[in-house]
Amino acid sequence: MIRINEIRLSLDEGEELLTQKAAKALKINQKYIKSLTIFKKSVDARKKDDVHFTYSVDVEILLDENQIVKKCKSNKAALVKPYKYEMPPCNRSSAFRPVIVGFGPAGMLAGLILAEAGLEPIILERGKRIDERTRDVNEFWSKAKLDEESNVQFGEGGAGTFSDGKLTTGIKSPFIRKVLDELYEAGAPEEILYSSKPHIGTDRLAVVVKNIRKKIEKLGGEVRCECRLDKLICANGFIHGVSYINGGKRYDIETDSVIMAIGHSARDTVEMMYSLGCEIIQKAFSVGARIEHPQSLINKAQYGEFASHPKLGAADYKLSCHGLHERGAYTFCMCPGGTVVAAASEKEGVIVNGMSSLARDGENANSALLVGIEPKDFPSEHPLSGIYYQREIEHKAFELAGGNYKAPAQLVGDFIKGEESKMLGDVEPTYPLGVTMTSLDKCLPDKVTRTMRSAITQMDEKLKGFALYDAVLTAPETRSSSSVRILRDEFMQCNIRGVYPCGEGAGYAGGIVSAACDGIKCAHAVLTDEH
C-alpha cells in the first residue's frame, strides 16, 4: 500500500478527484489504481484567502508498488503496511474472572479486549445505564435535582459521554487505530477514521456506548451498573477480591486481577485506595472557566471570507500562552456550536464542562480556559490535597451563585477590568441551570484569575475577537484531569499486586482516546501476567 500526503482540494472540488490527483502524484495512469481510502483529512486555514482541504490517502495499485514509489521520486509518497491490531498471547491460567471498575473509555476498551480474549470480565459501574442516566442528567439540568451516583460524571460511558466526544489526542500509541475502529463499528461516524479533528458528538455517544456494552456481553463479559465499589479485599499485599454495593446490599467477588478505571471524579474510591496503603502522589491539574463566544465570530476569525461555506461547518480553535517556568494558560475541549453543561457529582458543588452534538449547530462556541495548578500550589503536601482543593473551589462557586446549582459568570470585558458583572450583554450563556453575574475572583484562586486575564489578551492577538467584551465566562472548570496519580510499575500494577490503576482517574490519561488506549495497555498486562 502507498500513502500519499498533501493532496490538496479546494472547497468546491469533490473527493472524486482524489483518485486522479493520487495517480498524478505517482505519475501513473488512473486505471492502475485498484483502491483508494482517505487516511487523513484536515482544513488548512493558515491563509484566510486560501482556505482548502488537505488529504493523505492510501492507495493500492495494480503495479509494483515499490518500483512506482522509487520511480515517482516524491517525498509525499511512501510504502506503508495496513494497520492490524494484534492481541498478545494469553499467559493467564487463573480460574478467576478479572474485574474492571468503571465503564468509561478505559473500562470499556479494557473490557472489550479481555472479552475478546475469552476471559469473561466482570465490569462494575457505579452509575446507571445510559438511557436512565440520560434521564437523570436531564432532570438535574431542568430541576436541579442531583443524583450523586447518576450524573455527568458517573454512569455507563463515563464522563466523556456528556462531552463533545472529541477524539483528538496528543499521545502516540499503536492502539489509537484500534480505539477508532471499535468506536466506528459501534456506530460513530465514519469520518472519525480520517478526520484530523475527529469527534462523535454527544447525541451519537449514547448509541456507541450501548453497542460496545452489547459486544462485551455477547463475548461473555458482564457489565453490572448501579454497582459501586466499596472495598478492595487484600491480604499480604495481594488482591483477593472486591466488595460492592448494589441496592443497599453488599456483594463480594473473588478475583486476583482488578483494573481500576475509576475516572477522575471517583474521589471516595481514591480515598479508599489510599486508606489501604496504595501509593498515591499529587499530580498537576488545571482550573479555570468556560468561555462562550458567538460561533459566527469564531467562524469569521478562522475562515475569513469562507466562513459561511457549507463544507466547513463550525470552526474550532486551540490556543495557549505559557508563563515563565509554568504551564501558563490554554484552551481545552473546545466545543463548536455547543453548550456549557452542569457537571456536578457532589452535593453543593458547581462544575462546568462543555459538549456538542454531532451537527455542532448551536449559536455559541465554548471552550475551557484553563490555568495549570502545580503541586506546589496545593494547600498541603497530603497526597489527596488536590482533590480537597478542587472541592473547595466547587463549593465556593455553589455558594457564590446563590445555591441550587446556578453557576457564577462574568463578562470577559468586566473580568479583564476587574469589575463585577451586573448583567449580560449580547452573548446568552447556555449553562442549563442559569448563571449569577458576579466576579470570578470570589471563587477562583488568585493565580488562576491573574493568568486568565493575561491569557485572554494574548489569545485575542491570535484569534481576533477572543477578548470580546460580551463573551461570557462561566466557572468553575475543575475536572479536566485527575489531581492524583496512583503509582504503578512496569507491569501496570500498583503496590497491591493484581491491582491495575488505569486511565484518567489514576493519572495516566487525559481524554477519551488516551484513556481508551490505557485501558488496552492494562488489559494486555492482565493477559500477559502469569497468574
The neighbouring-strand residues paired with 292 are: 366, 472
From the number of C-beta atoms within 10 Å of its C-beta (0-12, 13-18, 19+), residue 233 rates as middle
pLDDT band at 160 (very low <50, low <70, confident <90, very high): confident
- Give the 3-state DSSP-derived string for 157-222, with helices as H, strands as E and coil as C: CCHHHHCCCECCCCCCCCCHHHHHHHHHHCCCCHHHHCECCCECCHHHHHHHHHHHHHHHHHCCCE
The grid coordinates listed for 315 are: 470552526
Q: Is pLDDT at 304 greater than 90 in this prediction?
A: yes
Amino acid, res. 30: Q
- Give the 3-state DSSP-derived string for 454-508, with helices as H, strands as E and coil as C: HHHHHHHHHCCCCCCCCCEEEEEECCCCCCEEECCCCCCCCCCECEEECCCCCCC
With pLDDT > 90 as the criterion, what percentage of the chain qualifies? 89
End-to-end CA distance of the chain: 41
The neighbouring-strand residues paired with 61 are: 33
**How many CB atoms neighbour CB 248 within 10 A?**
5
Q: Please give the mean pLDDT across all residues of the chain.
A: 95
- For residues 173 and 321, give the distance between their C-alpha atoms in angstroms, rounded to a whole number: 27
Contacts of 350 (CB under 8 A, 6+ apart): 342, 344, 394, 397, 398, 401, 405, 406, 407, 408, 475, 476
Range in 130-134, 202-206, 237-241, 364-368 the model is least confident about: 202-206
Angle of helix 105-116 versus helix 512-528 axis, rounded to 10: 40
Q: Is pLDDT at 325 greater than 80 in this prediction?
A: no
Q: Is pLDDT at 347 greater than 90 in this prediction?
A: yes
pLDDT at 360: 87
Report the pLDDT averaged over residues 318-334: 81
The answer to whether the peptide bond before residue 476 is cis (omega within 30 degrees of 0) is: yes
pLDDT band at 478 (very low <50, low <70, confident <90, very high): very high
3-state secondary structure of 70: helix
- For residues 132 and 110, give the distance between their C-alpha atoms in angstroms, rounded to a whole number: 24
